[in-house]
Amino acid sequence: MNAIGRIHHKGDTTFLNVTLQELIPEPKDLALYFRYQGSLTTPPCSEIVTWTLFTKTIKLSRRQFQAIYTSQYYHGNIPMVENFRPVNKLGARQVFTSDSRALVSKLCGYI
């Protein structure tokens, strides 16, 4: 989390002493997930992404959340807040569980 404070402008770099294994959940926590075909979160929002949501969430401390919340965009001293888009309707998408069963659309009307 300390690295967030060292990145202020586009092109800034910093060194992270992190292994990929530290970022991947435990194998037992990888077994339960939801998956669906969706879109990019930024324009042009092309529907070219396979989204995977693990049922076990990653916990953030208040300090970690605050570090992310007070981050700034690359182009100036503009706080990086409200950088999300509205929830999209499910439409014809199918949401699958990790045992490959399609969920009933009525259970997940929005994604």
Contact yes or no for 47/39 (Cβ under 8 A) = yes
Mean predicted lDDT score pLDDT of the chain: 74
pLDDT digits (tens, 9 = 90+) for 57-81: 877 788 877 777 766 655 566 666 6
pLDDT score of 83: 64
54 has pLDDT over 90 = no
Domain spans of the chain, in order of start: 1-24+58-111
106 has pLDDT over 50 = no
Percent of the chain with pLDDT over 90: 6
Q: Which pTM value belongs to this model?
A: 0.57
Quick one: tokens of 52? 């995977």
